[in-house]
């Protein structure tokens, strides 16, 4: 069984910026609280863009909306990339979508599995969660002559044993080796994610985010579906009809009115009429 290995990961890297920060090596931890927290700490210490923090296990892995991210040893990719993007604050959410597209490219290339993307950051397969993205702007990480930091945290389940999961998650999670039926080398997958993320970040910087949105739409399991969203002004229900160029979700209400959701959480109506 192959496990995440820094030498193997770096030997597979085809990037020129991500994972190649000048004067600062990448990190692989046997066990850490959260790779996102470690990358934020490095950002506050002034680490340059491109540094990658990897872990074989997280003891305090974090998901969106304050949820925990289960991270048993060697069960997945736990990876955080420190970026310092040269873009407007308003373009930052695009990096979450870009990370989702990067994961979909890498998973297809390494495991031959086609994933779905649920707005805004869920990686799904067969209606179950395979991975997620947590993009955060760490406070206190901006220094003179340095652009503000953005930490993109990526979790992908590769090799789970359902017994290790809390009961409420068992029916809702998926993992790559289960789908492909093949052992997977996590170092190869992490290197492929880094390469795809670099390509997509370059597109954002070149003002070509529209092509990322188009690729995201090609993987969407959200558009055309009946959704429920929690917004600061309450819950709303409607059909997810489009994604804007900035990555916001357009929902059409039964009144015909459209609402643009820049951030937040949605649930999708299933064939049983329930929302998940
Ligand atoms: C979600 O779907 O809720 C986002 C999950 C993000 C998990 C990854 S694992 C690596 C990085 N470190 C963390 O603590 N979280 C992210």
- pLDDT tens digits, one per residue of 120-151: 989 999 889 999 999 999 987 666 678 889 99
pLDDT digits (tens, 9 = 90+) for 200-238: 999 999 999 999 999 999 999 999 999 999 887 889 999
Tokens of 104: 């979909």
For helices 92-111 and 209-219, give the axis angle rounded to 10 degrees: 50
Tokens of 266: 């949605």
User: What is the CA(35)–ligand 1 centre distance, in A?
Assistant: 8
Ranking 9-13, 73-77, 95-99, 269-273 by mean pLDDT, the lowest is 269-273
Ligand 1 site, residue 61, Cβ cutoff 6 A = yes
Ligand 1 site, residue 153, Cβ cutoff 6 A = yes
Ligand 1 site-directed mutation target among 29, 43, 78, 193, most atoms within 8 Å of CB: 78
Q: Please give the Cα distance from 228 to 182 (Å, whole number).
A: 36
pLDDT interval class at 249 (50, 70, 90)? very high
Q: Please give the Cα distance from 211 to 20 (Å, whole number).
A: 26
Looking from the CA of 250 toward its CB, the CA atoms found within 13 Å total 10
User: What is the CA(76)–ligand 1 centre distance, in A?
Assistant: 11
Locate the ligand 1 atom nearest the alpha carbon of residue 71 and give its number.
9
Ligand 1 site, residue 80, Cβ cutoff 6 A = yes
pTM: 0.95
Q: Going by CA atoms, what residue is nearest to atom 9 of ligand 1?
A: 155
């Amino acid at each position: 069984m192959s496990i995440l290995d820094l030498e193997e990961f770096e030997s597979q890297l085809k990037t020129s910026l991500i994972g190649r920060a000048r004067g600062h090596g990448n990190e692989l931890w046997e066990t850490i609280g959260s790779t996102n927290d470690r990358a934020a700490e490095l950002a506050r210490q002034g680490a340059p863009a491109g540094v990658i923090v990897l872990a074989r296990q997280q003891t305090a892995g974090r998901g969106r909306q304050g949820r925990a991210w289960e991270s048993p040893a060697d069960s997945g990719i736990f990876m955080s990339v420190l970026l310092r993007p040269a873009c407007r604050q308003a373009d930052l959410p695009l990096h979450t979508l870009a990370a989702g597209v990067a994961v979909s490219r890498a998973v297809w290339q390494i495991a031959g599995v086609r994933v779905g993307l649920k707005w805004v950051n869920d990686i799904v397969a067969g209606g179950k969660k395979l991975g997620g993205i947590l993009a955060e702007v760490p406070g206190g990480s901006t220094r003179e002559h340095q652009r503000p930091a953005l930490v993109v945290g990526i979790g992908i389940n590769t090799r789970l044993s359902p017994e290790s999961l809390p009961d409420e998650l068992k029916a809702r999670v998926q993992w790559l080796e289960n789908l492909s039926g093949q052992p997977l080398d996590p170092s190869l997958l992490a290197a492929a994610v880094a390469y795809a993320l670099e390509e997509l970040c370059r597109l954002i910087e070149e003002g070509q985010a529209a092509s990322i949105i188009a690729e995201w739409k090609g993987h969407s399991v959200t558009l055309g579906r009946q959704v429920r969203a929690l917004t600061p002004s309450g819950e709303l229900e409607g059909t997810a009809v489009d994604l804007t160029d900035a990555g916001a979700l357009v929902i059409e209400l039964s009144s015909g009115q459209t609402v643009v959701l820049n951030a937040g959480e949605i649930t999708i109506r299933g064939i049983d009429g329930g929302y998940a």
